[in-house]
Amino acid sequence: MKKSFFTSPSNYPEPLNVLGDKITVLARLEQIGDYAVTLNYGHEGNGPPPHTHPWDETFFVVKGEVHFTIDGETKVATEGTLVHFPAGMVHSFKFGPGGAHLLEISGRGSQAVEMFTALDREVPGPVQDVAKLADVLRQTGVELTG
**What digits encode the pLDDT tens for the residues 60-101?**
999 999 999 988 899 999 999 999 999 999 999 999 999 999
Comparing CA positions, the residue from 142, 37, 51 lying closest to residue 89 is 51
> What is the pLDDT at residue 1?
64
Note whether residue 139 is domain-resident: yes
CATH number of 119's domain: 2.60.120.10
Strands (E) located in 8-129: 16-18, 21-27, 36-42, 51-52, 57-70, 73-78, 82-85, 91-106
Q: Residue 5 and residue 33: Cα distance in Å, rounded?
A: 13
Q: 144 with 134: CB under 8 angstroms? A: yes
Let me know if residue 7 belongs to a domain: no
Residue 100 lies inside a defined structural domain of this protein: yes
How many folded domains does the chain comprise? 1
- Residue 5 lies inside a defined structural domain of this protein: no
3 part of a folded domain: no
Q: Could you report the per-residue pLDDT of 107-144, keeping only the tens digit for each? A: 999 999 999 999 999 887 666 677 888 899 999 999 98
Q: The pTM is what?
A: 0.92
Q: Is residue 106 part of a domain?
A: yes
Q: Give the SS3 label for residue 85.
A: strand
The verdict on residue 110 lying in a domain is: yes
Using DSSP's 3-state secondary structure scheme, residue 106 falls into strand
> Can you give the pLDDT at residue 133?
84
Domain limits at 73?
Answer: 13-144
